[in-house]
Homo-oligomer: A and B are copies of this chain.
Amino acid sequence: MYRTNTCGELRLSDVNKKVTLAGWVQRTRKMGGMTFVDLRDRYGITQLVFNEEVNAELCAEANKLGREFVIQVTGTVNERFNKNKNLPTGDIEIIVDELKVLNAALTPPFTIEDNTDGGDDLRMKYRYLDLRRTAVRKNLELRHKMTMEVRKYLDSKGFLEVETPMLIGSTPEGARDFVVPSRMNPGQFYALPQSPQTLKQLLMVSGFDRYFQIVKCFRDEDLRADRQPEFTQIDCEMSFVQQEDIIELFEGMAKHLFKEIRGVELTEPFQRMSWADAMKYYGSDKPDLRFDMKFVELMDIMKGHGFGVFDSAEYIGGICAKGAATYTRKQLDALTEFVKRPQIGAKGMVYARVEADGNVKSSVDKFYTQEVLQQMKAAFGAEPGDLILILSGDDTMKTRKQLCELRLEVANQLGLRDKNKFALLWVVDFPMFEWSEEEGRLMAMHHPFTHPKDEDIALLDTDPAAVRADAYDMVCNGVEVGGGSIRIHDPKLQAKMFEILGFTPEKAEEQFGFLMNAFKYGAPPHGGLAYGLDRWVSIFAGLDSIRDCIAFPKNNSGRDVMLDDVMLDAPAPLEQKQLDELNLIVDIKE
C-alpha cells in the first residue's frame, strides 16, 4: 500500500502521528519560506507543508510540483494554525519529510475544481479528467449507492436478480434494434435487448415469482438531447399479483430510496391520477406536481361572445400564475413567442391580469364584458396580482400539450421547479390502445401483453379505443421514472388482443410464438415494472441531464464523447479481415 491514510480522514486526534499519503496535487502555494500543497484523492484534501528553513532541498522539490502530479509523501500530522472550517481535514496539516513523485502530469486543459473553467465539449473530450472533479464523481457515488439500496430493498422482499442474455433475437416491433452479426452462423444476427421484457415473462412462467435485474438496454434511435443508445433499467416482474400489489411494493422502494439517499421521509401515499385526468388538468401523462397551476377549461364561459378565435375553438383552457400580474408586456410577448415556436405550435396566447381592485384586464377586453371576465376569474379562483394565460385550438389533446409546455415554462420563470422538492405520483388507467395514423390501426400503447382493466373487457368488442389498461407510470417532478403493467395470462384474452391489433393468428405466432408457447405450459398471473436508472439518478442528484450520471456517455450522434483517440473512439471502421469473417460487405449509399 502506498499510503497509511487517505486524504480525507486525518483529524486533530491524529496529531503527531507519522503518516504516508498519496494523491494528486490540487494546488501549491508559496508563502515566504513555506510551501503549501493541497493533496487530493477521492476521499478529500489534506494540506502538506514544506519549510525551506528545515529542509531546503525537499522544499525546492515541492516547488517543482505541477498541478495533478501524483505524489506520495511521508510526514507528521500537525495542528494547523489557520484552521480551514470548509474542509473536514481543515484542522490539521502534514509536515512532510519525504516526497516521491509517482507520476508527473501535463497541465490539465481545465481546472479540476467544482466550478471548472472547462466548457462542456472540452470536459467531455477529457472525461477522465472531468471525472476527477468532486462534483462529477459525487453523481457516480450516488448512482452506486442507489443501486446498492435498490438491491438491498428488493432482496429483502424476496426478489432474485437473474441475468438475462444480451445476445438475443431481433424483434421487428418496437424501436430499432442494435444488431450483432454472428460469425458462426453466417448471414445471421443477434440483437441487443431493448428490454428483457419477454425474458422476464419467461422467468415468471418458470416460477421465479419475483425477479429483478439492473441491466443495460439498447435502442438504436436518433438521439435526442437526453437519450443514450445504451441505458440502464431496474427491471422487475412478479407473479400472482394485481396492480395494487406492484404499486405498493415499488412505492415502498421509492420511499426507501428517498429516505436512504436524500434523507427525505415521504410519509403520505403517493397521489394516484388517472391518465385522463393527467391529460385534462396538466396536458401530460407525467405532470410536474411540485406546483399547482391546474388547467381550467373555459369553453362554457368564453365561447359565443364574438371573439372568433375562441368561438371556433374546440378547446379553450388556461392556467393561473399566482402573483405574476407584474409580468411586463415584454415578458408576455416572450411567452407568446415561446408557445408559437414550431416545437410547440400554438397560434397565440391570451392573457389577463387580476388588478388590485379585483378587476380583470385582458388582452381580449374588446370582446368580453367585465362580468364574463369575472366568471373566468372565479373559475380559476384567481386573486388580485394573479396572471391568467389562455390557449385555444381545434384539437383538444394538442392544445393541452401546448398549455402543458406553457405551464412548465412559467413555473421555470417563477422558480417553482425546485430540485430539492420532490412530487411523486402514479399515473394509472392508461388507454389500452392508441390510434396510429401511420399504420391506420389501433396500436398497443404499452405492449400487446398488457392486461385490460377487468371492468373494460366487455368494451373490447364494442369500443376498443375506450378500453383502459392495468398500466401505471411512476412520475417524479414531471419525469417518468418508471412504468409497467399487469400482463395477460389468459390465452383467450391474448388472442382477442392480437385480433384487435390486426394480427392474423399466423403473424402473432411468427412474432410472439415463443412466449405464447411457453404460456401453454402454465403461466401464472403476473406483472411488473421497469425504472430508468439514469433518469432516476439524475433526479436524486439534481442534474439537468442524464449524461452527468454516466461515467462514459455518448454524444448525440452515438459517439464516445472522447473523440480524439483510437481506443475508445467508437464506432470505427472494421478491418477487412473482420468483415470477411462476418460475411459482410459495407455498402454506403450516397
Contact of A188 with B by CB under 8 A: yes
Contacts of A143 in B (CB 8 A): 162-163
User: Which A residues between 232 and 257 are near B, CB-CB below 8 angstroms?
Assistant: 232, 240-242, 245
CA distance A327 to B180 in the complex (A): 53
Task: Name, among A511, A566, A573, the residue most crowded by chain B CB atoms within 10 Å (CB to CB).
Answer: A566
CA distance A58 to B162 in the complex (A): 38
User: Which A residues between 205 and 229 are near B, CB-CB below 8 angstroms?
Assistant: 205-210, 216, 218, 220, 222-223, 229
The A interface is mostly helix, strand or loop, or mixed, namely: loop
Contact of A157 with B by CB under 8 A: no
Instruction: Name the CB-closest residue of B to A523.
Output: B103
CB contact under 8 A between A103 and B207, given known A162-B144, A216-B166, A565-B513: no
B2 touches A522 (CB 8 A): no
Pick from B23, B185, B240, B588: contact of A583, CB under 8 Å:
B588
Instruction: Name the CB-closest residue of B to A248.
Output: B1
Pick from B161, B178, B187, B242: contact of A1, CB under 8 Å:
B242
B557 touches A520 (CB 8 A): no
Contact of A378 with B by CB under 8 A: no
Contact of A301 with B by CB under 8 A: no
Surface stretch bound by B, among A124-132, A363-371, A393-401, A471-479: A124-132
B558 touches A184 (CB 8 A): yes
Contact of A547 with B by CB under 8 A: no
Instruction: Name the CB-closest residue of B to A567.
Output: B514
Contact of A3 with B by CB under 8 A: yes
B240 touches A1 (CB 8 A): yes
Q: How far is the CB of A447 from chain B (nearest CB, A)?
A: 13
B131 touches A182 (CB 8 A): no
CA distance A181 to B586 in the complex (A): 10
User: Which A residues between 563 and 586 are near B, CB-CB below 8 angstroms?
Assistant: 564-575, 578, 580-586
CA distance A207 to B574 in the complex (A): 32
A22 touches B574 (CB 8 A): no
Q: How far is the CB of A214 from chain B (nearest CB, A)?
A: 9
Contacts of A552 in B (CB 8 A): 164-165, 199, 202
Instruction: Name the CB-closest residue of B to A209.
Output: B42
Instruction: Name the CB-closest residue of B to A169.
Output: B570
A517 touches B565 (CB 8 A): yes
Surface stretch bound by B, among A147-155, A272-280, A292-300: A147-155
User: Which A residues between 486 and 525 are near B, CB-CB below 8 angstroms?
Assistant: 489-490, 510-515, 517-525
Contact indicator per residue, chain A 269-307, by CB within 8 Å of chain B (1) or not (0) = 000000000000000000000000000000000000000
Pick from B72, B131, B170, B578: contact of A203, CB under 8 Å:
B131
Contacts of A551 in B (CB 8 A): 162-164, 199, 203
Contact of A322 with B by CB under 8 A: no
Contacts of A569 in B (CB 8 A): 169, 514
CB contact under 8 A between A515 and B144, given known A185-B559, A241-B2: no
Q: How far is the CB of A187 from chain B (nearest CB, A)?
A: 5
CB contact under 8 A between A582 and B179, given known A222-B184, A521-B128, A557-B185: yes
A241 touches B1 (CB 8 A): yes
User: Which A residues between 382 and 437 are near B, CB-CB below 8 angstroms?
Assistant: none
CB contact under 8 A between A166 and B208, given known A144-B160, A220-B183, A240-B1: no
Instruction: Name the CB-closest residue of B to A42.
Output: B209
Contacts of A523 in B (CB 8 A): 70, 103
B230 touches A166 (CB 8 A): yes
Contacts of A3 in B (CB 8 A): 240
Contacts of A72 in B (CB 8 A): 240
Pick from B165, B205, B573: contact of A560, CB under 8 Å:
B165
CB contact under 8 A between A518 and B183, given known A70-B523, A188-B573, A586-B583: no
Instruction: Name the CB-closest residue of B to A182.
Output: B571
User: Which A residues between 62 and 114 are near B, CB-CB below 8 angstroms?
Assistant: 68-70, 72, 102-106, 108
CA distance A198 to B568 in the complex (A): 9
CB contact under 8 A between A102 and B565, given known A189-B573, A220-B183: no
Contact indicator per residue, chain A 533-565, by CB within 8 Å of chain B (1) or not (0) = 000000000000000001110100111101011
Closest 7 CB pairs of A and B: A514-B565, A514-B567, A105-B522, A131-B206, A188-B571, A2-B240, A169-B570
User: What 7 additional pairs, Cβ within 8 angstroms, besides A182-B558, A511-B566?
Assistant: A42-B208, A102-B524, A104-B522, A132-B207, A141-B160, A163-B551, A166-B166
Q: Give 6 A-B contacts (CB < 8 Å), ordered by A residue.
A: A42-B210, A43-B209, A68-B521, A104-B522, A184-B220, A584-B584
